[in-house]
Amino acid sequence: MTGLAIALALLAALLLAVGSVAQRRAAGRVPDDEASGLGLLRRLVRSPVWWAGSVGDAGGFVVQAAALGVGSLLLVQPLLVTTLLFALPLEAWTGGRRITARDAVWALVLAAALALFLVIGEPTAGQDRAPFAAWVPTGSVLVAVLLACLLLAARRHGRVRAAALAVATGIAYGVLAALTKSVVDLLTDGIVPLLLGWETWVLVAAAIGGTYLQQAAFQAGDLATTLPAITVAEPLVAALLGLTVLGEQVQADGAEWVLIGALVVVTVVATTVLARSSAAAAPESAPV
């Protein structure tokens, strides 16, 4: 099942990369004077490229859910960071540019760090669902951090506001990923358990809230500020919930923990660098 989960996670990353690049390409073609309010939405819904991106995003989420149905959060969510590895060549191809040597090196570093983590850590699955009480300790901390981010965003402007909203987005999406495992498990029991499960409705709230926060973050600051924070925060939050709520484990002891800690740091740094490069490659607004 581990091999299947890895394959599904990588396929989800590819689909999400296609969706992200296509949607950003479509949004970049909207003139500035039509890029506010409903004007942006009206232009986007008439764009085949934007719809292709939406299909990619939807397909990526479905495949991600399938991956979480057979694999652990500690296995699937870090692999979704490879979305950046797929997005870089796609953005270079659609933008008519070459991948820089710097990006290529960091892409190799990220791939190597993820591979070593999977080999050394051997993340194991826990339970698909946990009692509500098991969510309270970690959930309370995440809610407190989320509220702190929203308070900071309300009081500040510019890059600080954008970064705070981006971290809040990552928290919402990390919770969404963790709850996806529970909802997939509920779905196997039938539609009635699915509708009666509290996880279903918290997942819906996390999806809607995360989408709103993401758009607010993008509006508040540039992608170079927001994209790295979202990309890093989401898998970290999901992994934390996997460890503390769903009982997932990393198979390591002694010096292996030091190496795993170093790999996590390298992964975060590489992800941040590549996310900034991806943001810098985003197209400028121009007439269609």
pLDDT interval class at 288 (50, 70, 90): very low
Residue 213 has pLDDT above 80, yes or no: yes
pTM over 0.85: no
**Residue of 176, 174, 145 whose CA lies nearest to 233:** 174
Question: What letter would DSSP give residue 245?
Answer: T
Report the distance separating Cα 271 and Cα 106, nearest Å: 8
CB distance 64 to 5 below 8 Å: no
Burial of 252-270, coded b for 16+ CB within 10 Å and e otherwise, reads: beeeeeeebeebbebbbeb
Could you tell me the CA-to-CA distances from 185 to 6, 73, 191, 195, 205 in Å, in that order?
19, 14, 11, 12, 18
**Residue of 266, 228, 223, 231 whose CA lies nearest to 107:** 266
61-120 residue pLDDT tens: 899 989 988 888 888 988 888 888 888 888 777 777 778 888 889 889 999 999 888 888
CA atoms in the 13 A half-sphere facing the CB of 84: 31
Beta-carbon contacts of residue 98 (< 8 Å; ≥ 6 apart): 92
Report the distance separating Cα 184 and Cα 69, nearest Å: 6
Report the distance separating Cα 172 and Cα 177, nearest Å: 9
Residue 201 has pLDDT above 90, yes or no: yes
**Residue of 93, 75, 95 whose CA lies nearest to 1:** 75
Neighbour tally for 110: CB within 10 Å: 22
**What average pLDDT does range 194-218 have in this prediction?**
88
Tokens, residue 13: 């990353």
pLDDT interval class at 282 (50, 70, 90): low
Which amino acid, 221?
Answer: G
**Residue of 165, 166, 163, 181 whose CA lies nearest to 238:** 181
